[in-house]
Structure 1
Amino acid sequence: MKKLLLLLLLSSQICLADTALWGSTGHRVVGEVATQYLKSSTKRKLKKLLNGQSLAMVSTFGDDIKSDSRYREFNSWHYVNIPSGQLYDTHDKSEHGDIIKGINKCISVIENERASDDDKVFYLKMLVHLMGDLHQPLHVGRVEDKGGNEFQVRWFNKGTNLHKVWDSEMINHFKMSYSELAENLPRLSKKEIRAIETGTVLDWTYESQKLADKVYNSAETGEKLGYRYMYDNFQNVRLQLFKGGIRLAKVLNENL
């Protein structure tokens, strides 16, 4: 009986671990793509700061620390809610900060030669995560439904929400690991890559905002989404992961 209970406990832990892993796949793709576009000098600095850990490995750090109350002040850094058609500078902002302030804070620390290594490592890990969040369009979604978290839909036969569909359901359904996805993302010309790199954090936020509008129009509350939704939208998911990785590399190359 004890052996049976032990087996059941171990199997449940494995299932929980798999669930957590899949929820992190998109962030790891962003980290892995970024690695492909880093300068050699940047790679050396990252290797030293991260003690050999890869960007893919640390990319989930921003979510990992959410369960620790000491880091509660960073919870609002994962998103920004800008009403459709409005500008960041003129809309009501969270007093606790948002993803734009978070990314800019991270950049200011990692580029500061006087910052301690501990601070640089913390904000570097946060930066890797937040650059991924910025390119998930519903992290720039509507305040009234918490970025699609309260926009209820069905994914095949399972109840979920629109945010989760874009966060993980489509990626999970594609059944590729983060490294496989990173290796098979669109191959773009140097000109196309330079176009992706162009702009500021705010420019990239507005780009995600426009895509968020399209995402909201892509489904109705309670709608059953499945193969057709994948066909129509998964290419955008892949492109956003690719853009997030390229732009993360640009930020690191310029500021580390």
Structure 2
Amino acid sequence: MGGTGFWWTWRVLGSLLLVPGILGWGKEGHYTICKIAEGFLSEEALAAVKELLPASAKGDLAEVCSWPDEIRHSYHWRWSGPLHYVDTPDFKCNYKYCRDCHDSAGHKDRCVTAAIYNYSMQLSSGYHESISESGYNLTEALMFLSHFIGDVHQPLHVGFTGDEGGNTIIVRWYRRKTNLHHVWDNMIIESAVKTYYSKDLAIMIKAIERNITDGWFNVIPSWKICANNQTVCPNEHASESISLACKYAYRNATPGSTLTDDYFLSRLPVVEKRLAQSGVRLAATLNRIFSSQAKQIADA
């Protein structure tokens, strides 16, 4: 896998007070991913997730999947900002862990793929050792991991360095001035909910779930697999994202352009498939982490 020299140490659970901030995938996107994941969890994984969730979640993983976005701009959590994305060289349209996984100051292993490796390791080793004796905060590890698996599937969270993943590309979404990153985080999903799903996110989630069980049924097993029996494989997912960013997100979205039906209708299927893949892969990851077999290996 990629680097393992994670320099940030685990933090004591801070206040769950939610503060305003820029959201990745938007709250609706992360909610959708975790709601889809809940439907694919094994009994063991579901029990473990419910055990680790904060009381405020009321047993629903989807309720806290935006938490890392909601706290990232507060002083105590500012260190987590670079963990939501990984920038790649402009126009190369590929991702390489050793080249790309660093923050803006050049500190290695500070990006979304490193964070996924880190928090999956914390969950796996900490949960199977003993929750009470673990040196990690497993509640936070669960929430961070669930969120970051979503982030790495958003194509512009693996975008170009020069435009900060589309954040500096100013466009219009129909009549509204925004930036390209925000279009992919929020606006495609919001427009879809309004246009096709009666302004009800739950209806959109059900439609994506039907696609998973029907339209994408034959490819679901391949979505779940990580090569070489790895617990997580975010490098592969990041490579998918930058490829999609070049093929769909950046194309026909130059600074000052107005994005309307042509862009929306051709990109919505990409967004919905990435949400589906995120949910299926999050569940597969948690199933591997919390399986009895994983515990037996840890105890051996």
TM-score by length of 1: 0.86
Shift of 1:250: 0.7
Spell out, residue by residue over 1:29-48, the C-alpha distance to the aligned partner (whole angstroms, 9 max, x if none). Answer: 00011011110111111111
Which residue among 86, 91, 98 is the counterpart of 1:89? 98
Distance, in Å, in 2 between the alignment partners of 1:92 and 1:41 is 33
Distance, in Å, in 2 between the alignment partners of 1:228 and 1:23 is 22
Unaligned 5+ segments in structure 1 are 1-16
| 1:105 and 2:118 matched | yes
Distance, in Å, in 2 between the alignment partners of 1:92 and 1:60 is 23
Q: How many residues align?
A: 238
Shift of 1:57: 0.4
Choose 69-78 or 79-88, whichever is displaced more: 79-88
Which residue among 57, 60, 65 is the counterpart of 1:54? 60
Q: Give yes or no for contact 2:223–2:280 (8 Å, CA) kept in 1.
A: yes
Distance, in Å, in 2 between the alignment partners of 1:25 and 1:173 is 12
Q: Give yes or no for contact 2:86–2:100 (8 Å, CA) kept in 1.
A: no
Q: Which has the higher helix share?
A: 1
The equivalent of 2:242 in structure 1 is 209
The equivalent of 2:16 in structure 1 is none
Distance, in Å, in 1 between the alignment partners of 2:187 and 2:86 is 22
The equivalent of 1:69 in structure 2 is 75
Distance, in Å, in 1 between the alignment partners of 2:284 and 2:42 is 9
Aligned Cα root-mean-square deviation (Å): 2.1
Spell out, residue by residue over 1:120-169, the C-alpha distance to the aligned partner (whole angstroms, 9 max, x if none). Answer: 10010011111111111000001111100001110111111110111101
Distance, in Å, in 2 between the alignment partners of 1:244 and 1:28 is 11
The equivalent of 1:10 in structure 2 is none
Q: Give yes or no for contact 1:23–1:168 (8 Å, CA) kept in 2.
A: yes
2:69 corresponds to which letter in structure 1?
D
Which residue among 264, 278, 299 is the counterpart of 1:244? 278
Q: Give yes or no for contact 2:86–2:113 (8 Å, CA) kept in 1.
A: yes
Q: Once the two structures are aligned, what percentage of the paired residues are identical? A: 29
Q: Give yes or no for contact 2:101–2:114 (8 Å, CA) kept in 1.
A: no
Q: Equivalences for 1:3-82 in 2 at 5 Å?
A: 23-50=26-53, 51=55, 52-82=58-88
Counterparts in 2 of 1:255 and 1:231: CA distance versus 1, 3 Å: same
Which residue among 212, 218, 223 is the counterpart of 1:196? 223
Counterparts in 2 of 1:180 and 1:202: CA distance versus 1, 3 Å: same
Q: Give yes or no for contact 1:152–1:159 (8 Å, CA) kept in 2.
A: yes
Shift of 1:228: 1.8
Spell out, residue by residue over 1:59-80, the C-alpha distance to the aligned partner (whole angstroms, 9 max, x if none). Answer: 0011011132111111110000
